[in-house]
Amino acid sequence: MGVSENNAHYGHRLRVYRKIGDVIYDEVYYLTENGNPVTKKREREIRSLAKARDKELLEFQAEYLKEESDANPIKFHNDGRIIGLTRQQQQSKDRTIDIFKLRIRLPDGSISWGSISIDLHGFDEAFAQALERIVEDLSINKRTKIYQQMKKAKSAY
């Protein structure tokens, strides 16, 4: 969220708020002392302290998110679907084709694209092929917990 400014009845203040993992950092820097506004010089000092703390927390948050994404290359939507695997209907000439569309971010930062026809292979086989492609591209072991979670995501599609 960053640094926000609030002028409430109990004092003018800056708030630094960041959520990193399960920990919430919520810090307040008051721009008043004993009910009176601080001097302009002191206000600049307090603002620079708040911005410096926010920058520190932002770097910590970015580091945490990078470590988390490196440890787990597969993410899930709230409804259980795999991020990067979508079910779409595509118009082709006079008919509609049902497909699984893949967009996989590889560890080197590049993106692997692909699609698998549900009409051609059937839903179960197309989903299995999509998982196989993801596992192959990201070098995921099929005995891991994340692979089992991916298989359970089938019901979300």
Token representation of residue 140: 């995921």
Calculate what percentage of the chain has a pLDDT beyond 90.
35
What single letter denotes the amino acid at residue 37? Answer: P
**What pLDDT score does 70 carry?**
64
Task: Convert the pLDDT of each residue in 79-100 to its tens digit.
Answer: 878 888 889 998 877 888 899 9
Average pLDDT of every residue of the chain: 86
Within the chain, strands assigned E span: 2-8, 11-20, 23-30, 32-33, 36-37, 85-92, 95-105, 111-117
Write down the pLDDT at residue 57: 93
Domain limits of the chain? Answer: 2-71, 85-156
Please write down the HEC assignment for all residues of 108-151: CCCEEEEEEEHHHHCHHHHHHHHHHHHHHHHCCCCCCHHHHHHH
Q: What is the pLDDT of residues 5-44, one digit of tens each?
A: 887 777 788 999 998 888 899 999 999 888 888 899 999 9
pLDDT at position 118, please?
Answer: 92
Cβ–Cβ contacts within 10 Å for residue 31, how many? Answer: 18
Q: What is the pLDDT of residue 71?
A: 63
pTM over 0.75: no
pLDDT band for position 65 (50/70/90)? Answer: confident
pLDDT of residue 92: 74
